[in-house]
């Protein structure tokens, strides 16, 4: 179902063909983790909720794949935190930008940023750097689902707390992020939303959760989970 949805979004020009290949890479990791949120993922999702609740200007960054996969999940989390949404594309054209923002609006999103960029992400070239001063540029905490490594690193270098959703625990994005969530995007958004509700207003828990999180330790647990799953899969009769 997800695959057909993505294929349809390619025909509409909102997802690129290379976006489909990228989605396939994610599927492989998801499969290796048993297509469920691992304990390590849940820990990262809890830390993500704490960062978002503690932020002054939290922003959810949205690209073509993310919008195609789960617009409702993105809009729901943005409303719950609350956080701004900004569309930011690797392959940017005015048509894709307008198409994606309109698509999110058709799903109920209000005030989606990105149409009129007036700032740049430092360290990136060409159109990939474009962003708005109201959103990404002035954000202190930014959630980037399915982001490329260059942009994730550039956002960290700007001093932002970056929460990534990327199923590969060894990707440059996962390594660079403050909080690398290795989980399928829809599950991740749902879990973060739940933790946001649980922790809202509990400043002590929020700060403790922030302080206790370690990128490298979390990714190490994810890798061990993948290895356990691979070994168990060898002996199983089926995939």
Q: Which residues bind to a second copy, rule: CB under 8 A?
A: 3, 6-7, 10, 16-18, 20-29, 31, 149, 168-172, 175, 216, 219-220, 223, 226-227, 230-231, 233-234, 236-239
Tokens of residue 232, six digits: 């168990």
List the 141-145 sheet strands across, edge first.
Answer: 112-113, 84-87, 58-62, 141-145, 161-165, 179-181
CB of 208 to a second copy, least distance (A): 26
CB of 157 to a second copy, least distance (A): 15
CB of 23 to a second copy, least distance (A): 6
By C-beta, is 28 or 207 nearer to a second copy? 28
d(CA 204, CA 206): 5
CB of 58 to a second copy, least distance (A): 27
Residue of 132, 131, 126, 124 lying closest to 153 (CA atoms): 124
By C-beta, is 111 or 220 nearer to a second copy? 220
By C-beta, is 122 or 230 nearer to a second copy? 230
Q: For residues 73, 227, 218 and 20, what is the CA-based torsion angle, rounded to 10 degrees?
A: -30
Q: Evaluate the CA torsion angle 180, 185, 191, 193 in order and state its sign.
A: positive
CB of 173 to a second copy, least distance (A): 9
By C-beta, is 171 or 191 nearer to a second copy? 171
By C-beta, is 60 or 68 nearer to a second copy? 68
3-state DSSP: the chain helix, strand, coil percent, rounded to 5? Answer: 55, 10, 30
DSSP 8-class letter at 116: S
């Amino acid at each position: 179902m997800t695959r057909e949805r993505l294929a349809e979004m390619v025909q509409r020009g909102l997802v690129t063909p290379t976006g489909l290949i990228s989605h396939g890479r994610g599927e492989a990791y998801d499969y290796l983790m048993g297509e469920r949120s691992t304990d390590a993922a849940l820990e990262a999702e809890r830390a993500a909720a704490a960062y978002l609740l503690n932020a002054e200007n939290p922003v959810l960054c949205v690209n073509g794949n993310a919008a195609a996969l789960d617009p409702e999940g993105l809009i729901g989390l943005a409303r719950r935190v609350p956080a701004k949404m900004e569309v930011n594309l690797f392959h940017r054209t005015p048509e894709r930008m307008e198409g994606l923002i309109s698509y999110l609006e058709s799903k109920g999103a209000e005030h989606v940023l990105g149409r009129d960029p007036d700032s740049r992400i430092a360290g990136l070239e060409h159109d990939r750097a474009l962003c708005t001063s109201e959103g990404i540029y002035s954000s202190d905490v930014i959630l980037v689902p399915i982001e490329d490594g260059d942009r994730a690193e550039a956002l960290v270098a700007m001093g932002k707390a970056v929460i990534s959703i990327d199923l590969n625990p060894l990707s440059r994005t996962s390594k660079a992020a403050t909080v690398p969530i290795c989980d399928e995007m829809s599950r991740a958004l749902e879990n973060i939303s739940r933790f946001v509700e649980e922790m809202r207003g509990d400043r002590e828990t929020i700060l403790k959760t922030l302080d206790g999180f370690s990128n490298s330790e979390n990714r190490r647990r994810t890798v061990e989970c993948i290895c356990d799953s691979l070994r168990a899969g060898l002996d199983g009769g089926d995939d």
